[in-house]
A and B are shown apart, each in its own frame.
Chain A
Amino acid sequence: MVKYSEDHEWVKLEGDVVTVGITDFAQNEMGDIVFVELPEPGTVVSAGGDMATVESFKAASSVYAPLNGEVVEINDTLEADPALVNTDPMGDGWFVKIKIEDSAAFDKLLDEEAYKKLTQ
């Protein structure tokens, strides 16, 4: 199941691990992405806190953790090919996998309909 944060991340839950990336809307707003800085695996992140930085051609943007948890895997391919975030934001352009503490918090994220409203 995929949910969305108000900060334009998508969050896909499988077991107790979520995969996180930025939405198509967000990548389109940023333009050409040239660099992505991801946290080290093992980093403990808290909802709303800085998790990653995305450098587009024109400026840097922060990406915030959508939920509390521990980063268990990062998408290394973004180092060599940051443009994957533009071409496949919901797929190969994923950022991190986070082992979450509490699936109730996931349920509180926006569903697709609510997120669409946010971006209209």
Chain B
Amino acid sequence: MLKHTALHDLHKEREAKLAPFAGFDMPLYYRSGALKEHLLCREQAAIFDVSHMGQIEIKNPSMLADSAAEKILSVLEQLIPADLLSLIAGQQRYGLLLTPEGCIADDLMVMHMGDNIRLVVNAACVQKDMHYLRGHFENRLPVTVTQLPRALVAVQGPMAEMVLSELIAGLGDLAFMQLGHFYFDGHEVQISRSGYTGEDGFEISLPNAAARSFVDAICATGKAELAGLVARDSLRLEAGLCLYGQDMDEGVSAMDAGLGWAVSRARRSGGEREGGFQGAERTLAEFKGGAAWQRVGAQSHTNRPVRAGSQIFAEETATKAIGSVTSGSPAPSVGCPVVMMRLKGTHEISVGGVVWADVRGRRIALTVCNMPFFAHRFKR
């Protein structure tokens, strides 16, 4: 039985094409189709139901507010190689949850809520993450780890601030990766200036009961419309952002996935809090000596998309693959299809170089290029 988000009825009313995603019945696209939804997000604003993602609250009710969050962050630093101790109330940071072997258990957002810490995690990883977190906090810090039964809505695009400001005052003061408490229609909502499309935008956590009226109110402005998971995928891929389960998983390390940037300087060799996290040995060794894999971006020369799973070869006639495509999609804002590939670390690549993808037995040339494919437009 597939789970429904609080917006499921709305998806059906809008004639969404629905499909199972991480146990939820989620909209792939609505009446106008993924292509128009993608462009709407880049040109105006798009609304995404991302309520399937896990919102996990870590709380210690017995401690004083100002010390509770810091203590929780210091324990989280043992699992996440980001500089979490420098987070202040009202800020969030991207991080990787690492296994003891240095592989990626999940990628997530760590939010400093003042008196508690909130994590936003991938839908498919919620139970696994909660189990891992509870096990690690046990005997270290008495906390409760709870999944919040709240909706999560992302509003993304150059007009996102203008659209939301019609409904909620004060949003414009937030900078990228800042968050705050606001009110919508009497409901307390938490809003962060963040997202996963490469556009400026906001993510709004709100009670399930308020989700429908909130989205209806945004649509009523006439400046934003709902968009589904297919457009969300092409937007994040254009922005060079990784998707858990495709571009990274428990089989690869931070460096394999090209996510070394998510390991904060303070936690690397020579940093002020070097190591001290699960998987540090492998992670730090790979910073020095390189990793088995590398993440590389490329674009197609025709409008033929190359999809995840395609094997990649160094030469048109080569028989031994050097890796595979982990994400691939049409990229309407780039102008040609793009891919993210996981290639052998030993394979030397350079921007402008050509590799070959196998698509149903045919070799398709791809030109290596820098990521993001489409420049970020965050409001820092």
Contact = CB atoms under 8 A, between A and B. Distances in A.
Contact of B307 (A31, A32, A60): A60
A29 B330 CA distance: 18
Contacts, number: 41
Interface string B178-221: 00000000000000000000000000000000000000000000
B53 to A, nearest CB: 20
A55 B303 CA distance: 10
B294 interface: no
A74 to B, nearest CB: 16
A34 B230 contact: no
Contact of A59 (B36, B304, B307): B307
B304 A57 contact: no
A58 interface: yes
Interface stretch (B27-35, B146-154, B345-353): B27-35
B45 to A, nearest CB: 20
B303 A58 contact: no
Which range holds the interface residue count of chain B? 10 to 19
Interface string A13-42: 000000000000000000110110100000
B234 interface: yes
Given A31-B29, A32-B33, A32-B35, A57 B330 contact: yes
B265 interface: no
B90 interface: no
B304 A35 contact: yes
Contacts of B304: 35, 37, 55
A82 B230 contact: no
A31 B330 contact: no
A57 B34 CA distance: 7
A53 interface: yes
B305 interface: yes
Contacts of B29: 31, 57-58
Interface in B287-316: 302-305, 307
A59 to B, nearest CB: 7
A35 B35 CA distance: 13
A34 B303 contact: yes
Nearest to A79: B303
Contact of B17 (A31, A34, A35, A55): A31
Given A53-B360, A57-B230, A58-B28, A35 B33 contact: no
Given A53-B360, A57-B234, A58-B230, A31 B305 contact: no
Interface in B353-373: 360
Contacts of A53: 360
B303 A31 contact: no
Interface in A55-74: 55, 57-60
A55 B337 CA distance: 12
Nearest to A29: B17
Nearest to B234: A57
A106 B281 CA distance: 67
Residue of A58, A60, A82 contacting most chain B CB atoms (<10 Å): A58
Interface in B81-106: none
Max count, chain B CB within 10 A of own CB: residue among A31, A57, A59:
A57
A47 B119 CA distance: 54
Interface of B: 17, 28-29, 33-36, 230, 234, 302-305, 307, 329-330, 337, 360
Given A57-B29, A57-B329, A58-B34, 4 more contacts: A31-B28, A32-B33, A34-B305, A34-B337
21 contacts: A31-B28, A31-B33, A31-B34, A32-B33, A34-B35, A34-B337, A35-B303, A35-B305, A37-B304, A55-B305, A55-B330, A57-B33, A57-B34, A57-B35, A57-B329, A58-B28, A58-B29, A58-B34, A58-B230, A59-B307, A82-B303
Minimum-distance CB pairs A-B, first 7? A32-B35, A57-B34, A32-B33, A58-B230, A34-B330, A35-B304, A55-B305
